[in-house]
Amino acid sequence: MESAGPSPALRLAWRRLAQAPFVLAIVVVGAFLLLEAAPGDAVDAYVASLGGDAGFVHDLRTRWGLDRSAPTRFLLYLAGLATGDFGWSVAFGRPVLDVILERLPVTLALAAAATALAFALGTGLGILAGARPGGPLDRLLSALALLLNAVPSFWLGLLLGLLFAVRLRWLPLAGIETIGVHYTGLARLLDTARHLVLPTLTLGLVYAALYLRLVRAGMVEAWRSDFVRAARAKGIARRRLVLRHVARNALLPVVTMLGLQSATLIGGSVVVESVFAVPGLGRLAAEAVTQRDLPLLLGIVIVAASLVLIVNLVVDLLYARLDPRVELGHRSP
Amino acid sequence: MSPALARFARDRAALVAAFLLLGLALAAAAAPLLWPVDPDAVGGPPLLRPFLDPAHPLGTDRLGRDVLARLLHGARLSLTVAVAAAAASSVLGAAVGLAAGLVGGRIDDLLMRITDAFQTVPGFLLALAFVSVFGPDARSVVLAIAASAWTGPARLIRAEIVALRGRDFVLAAIVAGLPRRDVALRVLLPNALPPVVAYAAVSVASAVLIEAALSFLGLADPNRASWGAMIAEGRAVLVSEPWLSILPGLALLSTVLAVNLVGEGLNEALAPRRARP
Amino acid sequence: MRLTRRHLLATAASPLLFPTFPALAQQPRRGGVLVVAADTEPRNLNPALVASNGVFFVASKVIEPLAEMAYGEPGLTPRLALAFEGAPDGRSVTFRLRPGVRFHDGRPFTSADVAYCALELWKKHQNLGRVFFKDLEAVDTPDPLTAIFRFASPTPLQLVENALPALTAVVPRHLFEGTDPLTNPHNQKLVGTGPFRFVEHRPGQFYRLERNPDHWDAPKPWLDGIVYRVLPDRGAIAAALEAGEIQLAAFSAVPLADMKRLEKLPGIAVIDKGYEGITYQLTVEINHRRKELADVRVRRAIAHAIDPNFVVERIFLGWAKPATGPIPRFDRRFYTADVPTYPYDPKRAEALLDEAGLPRGPNGVRFSVELLPAPWFEHTRQMGDYLRQALKAVGIEAKLVVKDPAGHQKAVYTDHAFDLAIGSPVYRNDPAISTTILYQGGLPPGVPFSNQYGYADPAMDELIARAARTLDPAERAELYRRFQRLAAEQLPLIPVVEFTFLTVASTRVRGVADNPRWATSHWAETWLEA
């Protein structure tokens, strides 16, 4: 590639940004159709919890606008969306955006903590393993990674909870803060952090295993490259070689993977949030489906998809920054 | 022996895993012969611990159902659902990828945007919504997993096709006047397929996990024993009777591990790394 | 009929009702915040609009009804009403209200609030009140402390009395009048007269209530506050209780299987009282549109195929009783054991099925059904697993179909797309409130928890209608005994067991279960030991 003009990676990033609205539109239509196809509507979900007579059911349906046809409701929803109105959540009796914004920070904190843990642990141990491929440490770490990669996260969460919260009582089992005690400032932050340890471990360890394997594989490949061979022949110290050259190259795929895994991470948090009673977006989405709360589900899907798009954009830009020579999109020969 | 098979056989871990998986599949298939106990029969003493009663070697659950029988029948569900889901997602993905790669232009653009859209929505969330809406029977679980997992193979096969299109032997076939359809199905597809097959093996592992997670969240077919549901039921007595959750978890863990190892072996065997220097 | 006398009686009787708390004579201590587990967060928390146990669990501490249930013969204690009297013609009931009561915002509580709630909220919008108060024409308020309810047709005083605890929560008129009641913000930010004031709700996390220092029953309440911690998972609730993060879990929020273990732990008590007034049943609902099931012999065969003792012992671990009919034993005013019964007897079941012309086929199957266990409780789902096996034993093949609440609601009560279903109706202190509707014919589809079974019997309908307008309590009770006999004979649905819930609490929590709907009542008398 010539040095003139933006790098291919950067161009790719901009192209993705331009495509984002189309992608979002498809997502919104898909989510709407899915819930439209569901048996029973929000009123059925509501009266299932408390009963009521025929008039009651009819009134609710009129009140919630569910007597209108599906296309009408969808158009009304889109019209609202155009003015920034995400609609009204019938399940919570509040504006959708309020409900989502309440839960979003929790999921973001959990996802960020899990990613940080996975990245630090995964790359750190990956470098250790890849420093001497085939060595005893490599064998041990690789086996561990294989195992962690195969663990069902909800099961891991249950066992971690059983051990650290129920048996040892080192950590709280559920929720995100100690209820009834009103901490402020730093104390509150620490309290929340303590509550997030187990969910973060549960969510993060699986990805740590993934990154470990990725970094190790990259390093194994790097050791074979001509450049590193030449450097070794020149007698450059192994430790320096590992950190300066071999590991550095191996980190690039991890950055790509961070972007690719962002959607999976949100999906995984559904399970983890339910195991540890974390009031996040994932659990909210599951609730929206059970309550047939269409505007809420659409809102969540839009927010989640936007997040994923943003993360991918950031990753693209980061990639362009880290290695402008790499051409994305055509990695296979 | 084909070179791919030979390469696979040299990978000791993959070979061991393949035998383990084969054993598990056989045990699942022959469950009624191996351990002829009705997994749903509620007759036994409740909450019996493992290794105490030869009539129930792995104990019983709250309703007195035999844990061993439920584990074996759970293996059936888990494996059939996972294999079917992986097959469905591969076929769907391959079809989309093939269409996009071959036709190109606007169709390619549209198909890729749809793929993007699906990749933007958290796959598990999609599967969860799908199964809650259409009911937790095996078929809708398979469809749900396929709906959330077809994008991988689609991208993979499209990239392969795009890369292959410029290769000499493909150009040669086109120049030789082979009909378009034949170029697509007889030249391009077979060459683009190996990585998809390797990918399918890995997606079996993730399908096992998704099925288990859905069952764990209460979306299990109530007519069949399932590992995820067993863990969820055991969760109620996790503190007093932890083995009720631990046993099915171990079954899941070893299955996924074995599938992963076999998948890696296949990956190495079918799509060996670029020629080494 | 004066509540004041009853109140004395109820208080005298109560010490007998606390077997788990021998040190009742101990002086209650003021102070302390009680942390309890909540497993749902109702979207509308206003009990004047939504009469459901999930709402009452939180809201009954903030918003009070006219009267509350009590143990012992009188059956009621006064809350916002001190006494009431019915006219001989059954067309009016006069309530004398408690003087000197103020809402949490400082405004006085008067008969105008009661009149507004009755006509605008209970009658027009409340899920139970819409049926119950449909004949309520007017509420006269001759003075601030008198409210006279006028009915278009004779309404038994006994029924009105029985409806008071669940249907008559009073919210301030000045906050609701002129607004759309269903979207009023005070359906979330509750304002009432109760012993506790609503402070905040953080969705997904907690509700917080604080002591109302100006409560009419001062020095009660004893607690400084109540926090409801939202913990949707039952396993997590047990662990949180054990770890001391919460002090009380009501409504069997802890899995029954874990109860046995918790019971043995020091400092934790399992209390099986305080829910009698909201007794649930586990029922097999039957679609009579299916020709095999329209035959009473087949329905009786199904009843004979079920072992209620297995259900009691395995599914409820002993915390339930076999049911004989639609009215639970606890309500001695109406209950009768003198009904046809169908003891567990698979041979008899098979004989009945043969007699009905449904022999076993070559594969041993007589006929197949779709069985929909309701998703509300773990018991309903487990009952589904059990019933499938029990039916298999007598040659009926059942396929389980599980749906989420919305799907189940629509399949059973609107589309009638089921053969058998497992339901869990609640008995609310009078057969006319939520029980006879399960047997009454001719209801339109879409009415939840009603007879959507395709069952209609003129004798049954006539009996239900007569009992609903019979003024004499003894005569009315006799009609309901006949109702139970007819229900057991025709067996349109099969009540299998009746069950109440359990409370698990730290032994430091005192004043628990002191009335038959304690979990959904005021908790003014609950306190924490130092």
CATH number for the domain spanning B210: value is 1.10.3720.10
CB contact under 8 Å between C243 and A173, yes or no, is yes
What does the pLDDT read at residue C321?
95
Given pLDDT bands bounded at 50, 70 and 90, which one contains residue C17?
A: very low
What does the pLDDT read at residue B130?
86
Domain ranges, residue C316: 277-499
Element (H, E) at C269: strand C268-271
* C349 within a domain of the structure (yes/no): yes
SS3 assignment, position C137: strand
Residues in Cβ contact with C375 at an 8 Å cutoff, skipping those fewer than 6 apart: C381, C402, C403, C404, C405, C408
Residues of chain C contacting B238 with CB distance shorter than 8 Å? 235
Same domain, A79 and A137: no
Return the ∠ at Cα A66 (arms to A61 and A67), rounded to 5°. 80
Neighbours of chain B (3+ CB pairs under 8 A): A, C
Boundary-marking domain end, from A66, A95, A124 = A95
Count of domains forming chain C: 1
CB contact under 8 Å between C373 and B222, yes or no, is yes
Residues of chain C contacting B63 with CB distance shorter than 8 Å? 314-315, 382, 385-386
Tell how far CA A176 is from the center of its chain.
18
CB contact under 8 Å between C243 and A169, yes or no, is yes
Count of domains forming chain A: 2
Cβ under 8 Å to A: B residues 22-51: none
Distance from CA of B144 to the nearest CA of C (A): 16
Residues of chain A contacting B78 with CB distance shorter than 8 Å? none
Same domain, A21 and A146: no
Cβ under 8 Å to A: C residues 205-264: 205-206, 227, 229-233, 236, 239-240, 242-243, 245
* A331 within a domain of the structure (yes/no): no
Between CA A284 and CA A272 the distance in angstroms is: 13
* A328 within a domain of the structure (yes/no): no
Neighbours of chain A (3+ CB pairs under 8 A): B, C
Chosen for mutation from C242, C252, C344, C402 (greatest number of chain B CBs closer than 10 Å) is C402
CB contact under 8 Å between B122 and A19, yes or no, is no
What does the pLDDT read at residue B272?
53
Reading phi first (left if > 0) and then psi (alpha if -120 to 50, else beta), residue A117 is in alpha
The per-residue pLDDT for range C25-62, each reduced to its tens digit, is 578 999 999 999 998 888 789 999 999 898 999 999 99
- The rounded mean pLDDT for chain C is 90
The per-residue pLDDT for range C78-118, each reduced to its tens digit, is 999 999 999 999 999 999 999 999 999 999 999 999 999 99
Between CA C295 and CA A63 the distance in angstroms is: 41
Boundary-marking domain end, from A45, A62, A95 = A95
Tell how far CA B105 is from the center of its chain.
32
* A330 within a domain of the structure (yes/no): no
Over residues C269-287, the mean pLDDT reads 94
Residue C410, domain CATH = 3.10.105.10
Q: Using CB atoms, which residue from C127, C182, C447 is nearest to A50?
A: C127
Tell me the pairing of strands C81-86 and C92-97: antiparallel
Same domain, A189 and A261: yes
- Terminal C-alpha separation, chain B: 26
* C37 within a domain of the structure (yes/no): no
B62 in contact with C at a CB cutoff of 8 Å?
Answer: yes
B42 in contact with C at a CB cutoff of 8 Å?
Answer: yes
CB contact under 8 Å between C448 and A292, yes or no, is no
* A176 within a domain of the structure (yes/no): yes
Same domain, A271 and A309: yes
Element (H, E) at B105: helix B105-120
CB contact under 8 Å between A154 and B246, yes or no, is no
Residues of chain C contacting B64 with CB distance shorter than 8 Å? 314
DSSP-derived letter for residue C216 is T
Boundary-marking domain end, from A52, A69, A95 = A95
* B277 within a domain of the structure (yes/no): no
Whose tokens are 């278009």? That residue is: C152
Distance from CA of A320 to the nearest CA of B (A): 20
The number of C-alpha atoms within 13 Å of A153 and in the hemisphere containing its C-beta is 31
What does the pLDDT read at residue A329?
42
DSSP-derived letter for residue C50 is -
- pTM value surpassing 0.95: no
The series of mean pLDDT values per 10 residues for chain A, 333 residues long, is 56 80 85 81 78 79 83 85 83 86 90 92 90 87 90 93 84 74 78 90 92 87 78 76 73 79 84 87 83 85 87 80 51 36
B235 in contact with C at a CB cutoff of 8 Å?
Answer: yes
* A28 within a domain of the structure (yes/no): yes
Same domain, A37 and A165: no
Residues of chain A contacting B114 with CB distance shorter than 8 Å? 26
The per-residue pLDDT for range C165-222, each reduced to its tens digit, is 999 999 999 999 999 898 899 999 999 999 999 999 988 789 999 999 999 998 999 9
C379 in contact with B at a CB cutoff of 8 Å?
Answer: no
What does the pLDDT read at residue A116?
93
CB pairs under 8 A between A and B: 146
Domain ranges, residue A14: 8-95
Residues of chain A contacting B228 with CB distance shorter than 8 Å? 152, 154
Q: Using CB atoms, which residue from C258, C389, C404 is nearest to B42?
A: C389
Domain ranges, residue B234: 3-270
CB B130 within 8 A of CB B143: yes
Closest chain C residue to B136, measured at CA: C402
Count of domains forming chain B: 1
Return the ∠ at Cα A177 (arms to A173 and A178), rounded to 5°. 80
The fraction of chain C above a pLDDT of 70, given in percent, is: 95
Same domain, A43 and A145: no
Angle subtended by helix axes A8-36 and A294-322, to nearest 10 = 170
Chosen for mutation from A12, A16, A19, A158 (greatest number of chain B CBs closer than 10 Å) is A158
* B275 within a domain of the structure (yes/no): no
Residues in Cβ contact with C520 at an 8 Å cutoff, skipping those fewer than 6 apart: C53, C56, C57, C60, C166, C278
* A208 within a domain of the structure (yes/no): yes
Same domain, A111 and A225: yes
CB A271 within 8 A of CB A154: yes
Same domain, A285 and A189: yes
CB contact under 8 Å between B42 and C386, yes or no, is yes
Q: Using CB atoms, which residue from C258, C315, C399 is nearest to B236?
A: C258
Low-confidence ranges of chain B (pLDDT < 50): 273-277
* B59 within a domain of the structure (yes/no): yes
* A3 within a domain of the structure (yes/no): no
Query: Nearest CA to B156 among B190, B194, B120, B128?
Result: B194
Q: Using CB atoms, which residue from C235, C310, C378 is nearest to B238?
A: C235
Distance from CA of A68 to the nearest CA of C (A): 18
